[in-house]
A and B are shown apart, each in its own frame.
Chain A
Amino acid sequence: MFKSIIKSAVVVASLALATSAIAKDKIRVGISPEAYPPFTSLNAKNQWEGFEIDLLAALCKQMDADCKIVSIAWDGLIPALNGKKIDMIFNSMSITDERKKVIDFSDKYYNSPAEIIGTKDAPNVTVVDNPDGKGGKIANPADLKGKTIGVQTATIHADYAAKYFKDATVKVYDTADNHNADLVAGRIDYALLDSVAADDFVKANAAKGIGAKLIVPADPIFGVGAGAGLRKNDTKLKDKINAAIKAVRASGEYDAIAKKYFTFNIYGD
Chain B
Amino acid sequence: MDESLALFIEIVPTLLAAVPVTLILTFLSAIIGNTLALPVAVGSLSPHFYLRYPSLFYIFVMRGTPLLAQTYLIYYGLGEFFPGTWVQKSFLWPYLRDGFWYAIFAFSLNTAGYTGEILRGAIMAVPKGEIEAARAFGFSSALIFWRVTLPRAIQICLPTMTGETILLLKATSLASLITVWEVMGTARQIQKVTFRVYEPLIAAGILYILMVFVLTRLMMIVERRINRHRLAPA
Chain B residues positioned under 8 Å from A102 (CB to CB): 195
The listed residue (A79, A98, A208) touching B193 by CB distance below 8 A is: A98
The 4 lowest CB-CB distance pairs between A and B, nearest first, are A185-B79, A154-B192, A187-B97, A78-B195
> Is B181 interfacial (CB 8 A cutoff)?
yes
Chain B residues positioned under 8 Å from A188 (CB to CB): 97
The listed residue (B76, B80, B176, B195) touching A99 by CB distance below 8 A is: B195
Chain B residues positioned under 8 Å from A130 (CB to CB): none
Query: Would you call B97 and A148 a contact (CB within 8 A)?
Result: yes
Chain A residues positioned under 8 Å from B97 (CB to CB): 148, 186-188
State in angstroms the CA–CA spacing of A154 and B196 once bound together.
Answer: 13
**Nearest residue in A to B178 (C-beta to C-beta)?**
A178
State in angstroms the CA–CA spacing of A242 and B176 once bound together.
Answer: 39
> Is A269 interfacial (CB 8 A cutoff)?
no
A152 to chain B, nearest CB (A): 10
Chain A residues positioned under 8 Å from B179 (CB to CB): 171-173, 178, 182
B15 to chain A, nearest CB (A): 15
Chain B residues positioned under 8 Å from A184 (CB to CB): 79-80, 83
State in angstroms the CA–CA spacing of A78 and B196 once bound together.
Answer: 9
**Nearest residue in B to A159 (C-beta to C-beta)?**
B193
Chain A residues positioned under 8 Å from B76 (CB to CB): 178, 181-182, 185
> Is B188 interfacial (CB 8 A cutoff)?
yes
Are A153 and B192 CB-contacts (below 8 A) given A79-B197, A172-B179? Answer: yes
A252 to chain B, nearest CB (A): 36
Q: Interface range on chain A: under 10, 10 to 19, 20 to 34, or 35 or more?
A: 20 to 34
Are A75 and B177 CB-contacts (below 8 A) given A185-B79, A185-B82? Answer: no
Chain A residues positioned under 8 Å from B88 (CB to CB): 186
> Is B46 interfacial (CB 8 A cutoff)?
no
Interface, chain A (partner B; CB < 8 A): 75-76, 78-79, 98-99, 102, 148, 153-154, 171-174, 178, 181-182, 184-188, 208-209
Chain B residues positioned under 8 Å from A173 (CB to CB): 179
> Is B189 interfacial (CB 8 A cutoff)?
yes
A-B interface pairs (CB < 8 A), number = 54
State in angstroms the CA–CA spacing of A209 and B177 once bound together.
Answer: 25
Chain A residues positioned under 8 Å from B192 (CB to CB): 75, 153-154
User: A172, A185, A208: which has the most chain B beta carbons within 10 Å?
Assistant: A185
State in angstroms the CA–CA spacing of A181 and B83 once bound together.
Answer: 11
User: A76, A178, A209: which has the most chain B beta carbons within 10 Å?
Assistant: A178
The listed residue (A75, A171, A181, A185) touching B191 by CB distance below 8 A is: A75
Query: Would you call B177 and A174 a contact (CB within 8 A)?
Result: yes
The listed residue (B79, B80, B176, B197) touching A174 by CB distance below 8 A is: B176
State in angstroms the CA–CA spacing of A208 and B176 once bound together.
Answer: 26
Query: Would you call A187 and B195 a contact (CB within 8 A)?
Result: no
B154 to chain A, nearest CB (A): 38
Could you list 6 examples of A-B contacts with CB < 8 Å?
A102-B195, A174-B176, A178-B76, A178-B179, A185-B76, A208-B83
Query: Would you call A182 and B191 a contact (CB within 8 A)?
Result: no
Chain B residues positioned under 8 Å from A187 (CB to CB): 79, 82, 96-97
Are A79 and B195 CB-contacts (below 8 A) given A174-B177, A185-B83, A208-B83? Answer: yes
